[in-house]
Amino acid sequence: MTTTAVTHIASLVTNDPSLGNGTPLGLIHDAAVVIDGDRIVWTGESSKAPATDNVLDAAGRAVIPGFVDSHSHLVFAGDRTEEFNARMSGQPYRAGGIRTTVAATRAASDDDLSANVARYLAEALRQGTTTFETKSGYGLTVEDEARALRIAGRHMDEVTYLGAHIVSPDYADDPAGYVDLVTGPMLDACAPHARWIDVFCEQGAFDGDQARAILTAGRAKGLHPRVHANQLSYGPGVQLAVELDAASADHCTHLTDADVDALAQGNTVATLLPGAEFSTRAEWPDARRLLDAGATVALSTDCNPGSSFTSSVPFCIALAVRDMGMTPDEAVWAATAGGAAALRRTDVGRITPGARADLVLLDAPSHVHLAYRPGVPLVSAVWRRGERVV
């Protein structure tokens, strides 16, 4: 194995509170990181770094863990520019817009879907994302959902079965029949290709009883729950997620005090997706309220062609700091260690010995610049599994 040291890092985010200044970010100044193969083997002060085969001088720039984007919808075809344009001209977002993408996705070839996934993954990588989750949910037939998961699995770290995105247009008059399909033959076909099961628990999609049936059936097949919860309105999604020990309740835009308490007391991460609120001109989720209550918060892109067509975690960090009450430290933690927690991973989202060597070198002296300089391409190098990829 070849060892590489990145030295003279002005500020290194380790996400290990036992290191550096004792905050959750575990900041070390004038730091170095040593990579051996695909792993991090040493972090500390630059002057104490061990000898290595290669050295890269960060020359006073910052290094952070690669972003962990724990929520996206990348297996799709088609385009919804006109819907976005209309919405920005005053029409509200409704869950039904998904049907446009379903029609285009069903009509697309495997190669076209795969190329689309690769394209947006490459785009995300250039912006510092090194761990990615994506979902099915634009097929809504047994064959099309299983196909989406197979394609996702070729490209992704984490794959989620979301047959319960909306009731398939083919079952518009028989939603109970669609739940039977999602929990029966579709689940059988999809479970081998996924780690997670998700449901859009929302008015116009699936109610609490349907969501419970779907998640419970998935769990019986070895899939672990995550939930699209409380995005467009108050509802049962968050409390169901906590009750079923879902890894994550995603969106969390409309929360009662009881919802916040449940998240603070349970093991379920609150994943906030400000790209969706941005792209639908909706009310921001209140990250401050969740953090003050003691909930674990993750930030993710929700990258999808309808309601949040951004692959940029730095953009989401800037929104979270500007509009959701997060400090820059909290937002960077949420987009790295928080995303890892939302995927129940301990090998990513941190720069500590033993972790996967996923690093981002910023063209800035501090991670705070991700919020301080919004919209600026600050990612200057990316290593994934120890390999320099940007």
Binding site for Zn ion (CB under 5 A): 302
* DSSP string for residues in 79-106: --HHHHHHHTTTPPP-GGGHHHHHHHHH
Nearer to Zn ion, 52 or 160 (CB): 160
Report the residue number whose CB is nearest to Zn ion.
302
Give dist(CA 137, CA 182) in Å, integer.
11
The answer to the question of whether 265 is labelled as a binding residue is no
Nearer to Zn ion, 21 or 203 (CB): 203
The answer to the question of whether 29 is labelled as a binding residue is no
Shortest CB 135 distance to Zn ion, Å: 7
Shortest CB 276 distance to Zn ion, Å: 7
Shortest CB 223 distance to Zn ion, Å: 17
The answer to the question of whether 73 is labelled as a binding residue is yes
Q: Which tokens go with 133?
A: 């989750």
Shortest CB 302 distance to Zn ion, Å: 5
Nearer to Zn ion, 248 or 366 (CB): 248
Shortest CB 236 distance to Zn ion, Å: 18
Cβ atoms of residues 8 and 59 within 8 Å: yes
CA atoms within 13 A on the CB side of 70: 34
* Residue reference for tokens 């070390």: 28
In DSSP terms, 158 is beta-bridged to 133
The answer to the question of whether 18 is labelled as a binding residue is no
Nearer to Zn ion, 52 or 70 (CB): 70
Residue 336 DSSP label: I
Nearer to Zn ion, 244 or 378 (CB): 244
Residue 209 CB neighbour total at 10 angstroms: 11
Nearer to Zn ion, 16 or 302 (CB): 302
Shortest CB 190 distance to Zn ion, Å: 17
Q: Which tokens go with 362?
A: 């910023």
Cβ atoms of residues 301 and 313 within 8 Å: yes
The answer to the question of whether 71 is labelled as a binding residue is yes
Q: Which tokens go with 307?
A: 């309601």
Give dist(CA 29, CA 13) in Å, integer.
9
Residue 203 DSSP label: T
Q: Which tokens go with 124?
A: 């995300």
Any alpha helices (H) in the chain, and if so which ranges?
81-87, 98-107, 110-126, 142-155, 175-183, 185-190, 208-220, 237-243, 257-265, 274-280, 287-293, 313-323, 328-333, 339-342, 369-372
The answer to the question of whether 178 is labelled as a binding residue is no
Q: How far is it between the farthest Cα atoms of the chain?
A: 69
Shortest CB 53 distance to Zn ion, Å: 42
The answer to the question of whether 138 is labelled as a binding residue is yes
The answer to the question of whether 136 is labelled as a binding residue is no
Nearer to Zn ion, 250 or 358 (CB): 250
Q: What are phi and psi of 156, to 5 degrees?
A: -110, 155
Residue 155 CB neighbour total at 10 angstroms: 17
The answer to the question of whether 307 is labelled as a binding residue is yes
Task: Give the residue numbers of the binding site.
Answer: 71, 73, 80, 138, 165, 228, 231, 302, 304, 306-307
Task: Give the residue numbers of the binding site for N-formimidoyl-L-glutamate.
Answer: 138, 304, 306
Task: Give the residue numbers of the binding site for Fe(3+).
Answer: 71, 73, 228, 302
Task: Give the residue numbers of the binding site for Zn(2+).
Answer: 71, 73, 228, 302
